[in-house]
Each structure stands twice: as structure tokens, then as C-alpha cells.
Amino acid sequence: MEPVRRVADPLSAAQRAHALPLLACLDQLSHDGVAAFDRQGRCFHWNGAMERLSGVARGRAVGQDVRVLCASLAITVELDALSSGMSARQLPFSGAKKGFCDLSAAPLALDGNVYGGVCLLRDVTEQVETRQQIAETESRFRNMADASPVLLWMSGADGLCTFFNRTWLEFTGRSLDQEIGIGWAEGVHFQDFQSCMDSYLAAFARRERFAIEYRLRRHDGEYRWIFDQGVPRYAPDGSFAGYIGSCVDITDRRRLAEDLQQQVRGRDEFISIAAHELRTPLMPMRIAVDLLVQLTDGTDNDLRARVEMLDQAVARQTETIEALLDLSRINAGLTANDLEPFDLDEVVREVVTRFDRRSAPVVMTVSTRSPGSWDRSKVERVVSNLVTNGVKYGDGRPVEVAVEDHGPRVHVVVRDHGIGIAPEDQERIFQRFERAVSVTSFSGFGLGLWIARSLVESMGGAIRVQSAVGEGSTFTVDLPRSTESGA
């Protein structure tokens, strides 16, 4: 090593007169620690920032070896490195303060003579910690995203995708590089591609949430139905930053729904055919018996008695078939309302007219014009079931039917004066296959009131009963004037 020529004080008095105030001024302004040292490493300048960072006062620092001073900040450096110039970033330091610093040093030279060096210590703790926090947040997000069972993606403000989680990449069997940008769209089924892109871009332009379904190729080549929900995301300053999306494989769910739909369609079709086939032969039976009733009217012999037997048998058969069809439709969930406008009073009167039976008179007591919108065949079935019930348990006394207008609601009231229902039975009678009395005294399925209630409820209405044993029962159907279509 070349012997060092020591320069004790290379500055003239004039130079010093300029340099010292400049140094003092910079000292005050600087947030960076500044230390100057001579060729032996002895410190001859130690600014305020250095004092604050290291906790070593200027008085104690001056004259100290700069390496010792650095050690007081827990920084190890060679004098050679300091003297010849260096730069180190994000060094951990620990003095009066703990953190990270950028350390740089440059030689002090005058007229080609190196007589020491200056080192500058910039506290970058905040930046480093912020960066670490961001990195941690980022890595936490990625861990979460990768551990998620759903397929996640993210796009920038330009619509191009910038991120796919591991679940996505494992699903498609492709690399992030392949998927990024618009690479992912290569996996979308060509039949769904256009609609998928249209919805995505339309939502993107309006910055709205979207939810789309499309088929995406899985790693094994099978196209799976994906439900993809995208939500716009915004930067902290409120500017639009793109989208974040999550997808789930809904292939199995769709298949189940399709199967179910097909089953419902199949059941619907079967019940329709069954209804047609069961009702059609009842028609000639009914008309033929009615003709026989007319022909034998006024006679009182065996033939008349047989005709009445037939008449009742056909009526009972008809009622049973209708009950079974209602039961099948309700059980199959086929309770959608087929709405049409009509006068409720008129339809109730029509149904009542059909009960011109010898067993018990059925009369309309109150009648109010009640226009509205309902499912006509349901209304007919409800009234028919209630009147049948009234006739059956009415003890031969008249069954009274009334239609009452209550503004937004309409009531159909069916009152009998028969055996009545005990309070404890009044809820039970609306259950399937239930009746308040024993099977041996009254025939039938015990379905009528259950059907009535199911149909009334499917039209958004309610059915109530008031009754006392021995005094008869009053059933009130409370219907909204207009039923929502659909279900």
C-alpha cells in the first residue's frame, strides 16, 4: 500500500471562512446524517441529523474513529470503502433510532490530494416498511387467492387480465403467462365466446357488476359451465382500476336443474294426458245418465232407482278423479297461476248451479259483482270442493254461498248447518287425508279441504273456518283481487 501523505489542514483561512458557515447551514437543513473524517478515519464533522440518528453527540463524535461511530449505529464498514467512495442501500441500523438507511460515501479531495472522506446516511425506514407492508399485503392476498376454492381473476382499467389465482390455473391447466391479457378467452367455448365477451365489455364500459355463465375448458379438455361474477374495483384515489372476478363451476348444479326441469315437464305432461284420458270418458257417462234421469223423471220404479245409483256413482267418480288430478298437480309443484280477468261472482254462481242435487240445496245468499283477475279453474275447484264438503257434512240442510267485496280483497263464504267441527279439529281438517269424523260414516279421500287450501294459498289467499259442533261450519276464502302470475 502506498504510504499516505497526511494533510493536516489543507484549507486556507479564507477558504475555511467560506466553508464553515456553508457547512453549518447545510447541517441545519439536512435530514440526512453527514460525517466527515480524515485519512486516518478520525471524525472532524458530525451533523445534527447524525446526532439524532446515532444518539452520539457532536462533542463526543469529533475525534472518534468513524468506524467506531458507524459501529454505534450497528453498521460495519471498512475505512477503505468509505474513503474511496461507496453506496449501500437499505442497511439496517440501530442507534438512537432503529431502522434502515442508505449509506453513501465519497472521498474528500483537493488538488488531487485525498485527505479524508464524507459519508451520508439517509433514513429510509419509512419507505422500506411501507414496501414491506405492501409486499406482505400482496403475499397475503395471493395466499388467500390461491387457497380459495373459487377461480379468481383480476383485470386492469384497460380490460386486460393481470392476475389469475392458482385455482384458476389448476382448473385450466395453463400458466399465468398463457392466461394473462386475453389469453384466458382461448378456453371459452366458441358458442359462448361472443355473448361472454359482449356482456363483459358492456359491463366494463358502464363499470357495473356483472354475472355471466359460459363454458370454460378444463385441463382435461372437458368444457365446464362457469358462473363468473365481476365487480369493478377502484384505486384509493377513487379512480377505476379494473375488475375483480370470481368463478364457480356450476356444471353439476345446472345438470341437476335441467334434470329437475325435465322431470317437472315430464310429470306435467303425464298429468295432462292422465287428466284428458280420465275426464273424456266421464263426459258420455254424465250425459247418458242425465238423459236417463230425464227419461225416468216422474217414474217411481226399479229403473229410476238404478239410474239414481248410476248418477251418484258418476258424480262420485268425477269428484275423485278431479281430487286426484289436483293432488298430483299440487304435489308435482305445478301450481302456477293462469290468470284471466273475470267476475268472481259469476264463476261462483256457475259452480253453485252445478249442485242442483237432491241431497241438499245449494243457494247463493249474497252476491256482489266482483271483477278481478284470478286462475279460473283454481277458483272453480276451490268453490266446488267447499260446496261438496258443505253438502257432505251439511246434514241435508241448505248450503249457503256468498261473495263479498272487501275492496282489495274478495271473500267467498260457504256456510253449512250440519254437524260442525270441534275446535281441536279445525286446523287438522286442512291436512292431507284428514277428516274430523270417522271414515266409516263418510266416504272420500279427505282431500277436499287440503286441495282448497293449497289452491287458495297458491293464489296468495287464505282460508279460514268458524264452526261449532252441531251448528255447522263457515268457510271463508279470502282472495286478493288480483293474483300475481307465476306461482
Footprint on this chain of another protein (rule: CB under 8 A): 271-272, 275-277, 279-288, 290-291, 294, 318, 325, 329, 338, 340, 354, 356, 375-377
- Looking at the Cβ atoms of 6 and 276, the one nearer to another protein is 276
- Looking at the Cβ atoms of 197 and 285, the one nearer to another protein is 285
3-state SS assignment for residue 143: helix
| In the complex, minimum distance from the CB of residue 431 to another protein, in angstroms, rounded to a whole number | 24
- Looking at the Cβ atoms of 73 and 387, the one nearer to another protein is 387
Beta strand pairing call for 43-46 and 33-38: antiparallel
Q: Which amino acid is at 93?
A: F
| In the complex, minimum distance from the CB of residue 207 to another protein, in angstroms, rounded to a whole number | 42
| In the complex, minimum distance from the CB of residue 217 to another protein, in angstroms, rounded to a whole number | 42
| In the complex, minimum distance from the CB of residue 162 to another protein, in angstroms, rounded to a whole number | 52
- Looking at the Cβ atoms of 357 and 409, the one nearer to another protein is 357
Secondary-structure percent of the chain, ordered helix, strand, coil, rounded to 5 = 45, 25, 30
Q: At what angle do helices 282-295 and 251-279 cross, to 10 degrees?
A: 20
- Looking at the Cβ atoms of 265 and 354, the one nearer to another protein is 354
Q: With contact defined as beta carbons under 8 Å apart, do 360 and 397 qualify?
A: yes
Query: Which of 465, 478, 407, 400 has its CA nearest to residue 434?
Result: 465
- Looking at the Cβ atoms of 105 and 447, the one nearer to another protein is 447
| In the complex, minimum distance from the CB of residue 289 to another protein, in angstroms, rounded to a whole number | 8
- Looking at the Cβ atoms of 26 and 336, the one nearer to another protein is 336
DSSP output for 3-67: PPPP-S----HHHHHHHHHHHHHHHHH-SSEEEEEETT-BEEEE-HHHHHHH---HHHHTTSBHH
With cell 269428484, the residue in question is 319
How far apart are alpha carbons 347 and 350 in whole angstroms? 5
Query: Which of 346, 396, 340 has its CA nearest to residue 373?
Result: 340
| In the complex, minimum distance from the CB of residue 387 to another protein, in angstroms, rounded to a whole number | 15
C-alpha grid cell for residue 288?
247418458
| In the complex, minimum distance from the CB of residue 322 to another protein, in angstroms, rounded to a whole number | 10
| In the complex, minimum distance from the CB of residue 381 to another protein, in angstroms, rounded to a whole number | 10
Please count the helices (runs of H) and the strands (runs of E) in the chain.
15, 17
| In the complex, minimum distance from the CB of residue 340 to another protein, in angstroms, rounded to a whole number | 7
How far apart are alpha carbons 420 and 468 in whole angstroms? 5
How far apart are alpha carbons 383 and 360 in whole angstroms? 16
- Looking at the Cβ atoms of 59 and 284, the one nearer to another protein is 284
Strands (E), 98-239: 98-110, 113-123, 151-155, 161-164, 210-217, 223-234
| In the complex, minimum distance from the CB of residue 408 to another protein, in angstroms, rounded to a whole number | 24
- Looking at the Cβ atoms of 151 and 315, the one nearer to another protein is 315
| In the complex, minimum distance from the CB of residue 442 to another protein, in angstroms, rounded to a whole number | 24
The residues, ordered by sequence, that sit 6+ positions from 213 with a Cβ below 8 Å of its Cβ are 192, 225, 226, 227, 228, 250
| H helical segments located in 355-478 | 376-393, 448-458
Q: Which amino acid is at 378?
A: K
- Looking at the Cβ atoms of 167 and 388, the one nearer to another protein is 388
Query: Which of 376, 388, 402 has its CA nearest to residue 442?
Result: 388
| In the complex, minimum distance from the CB of residue 319 to another protein, in angstroms, rounded to a whole number | 11
- Looking at the Cβ atoms of 336 and 439, the one nearer to another protein is 336
364 φ/ψ sector (left φ>0, alpha ψ -120 to 50, else beta): beta
- Looking at the Cβ atoms of 197 and 271, the one nearer to another protein is 271
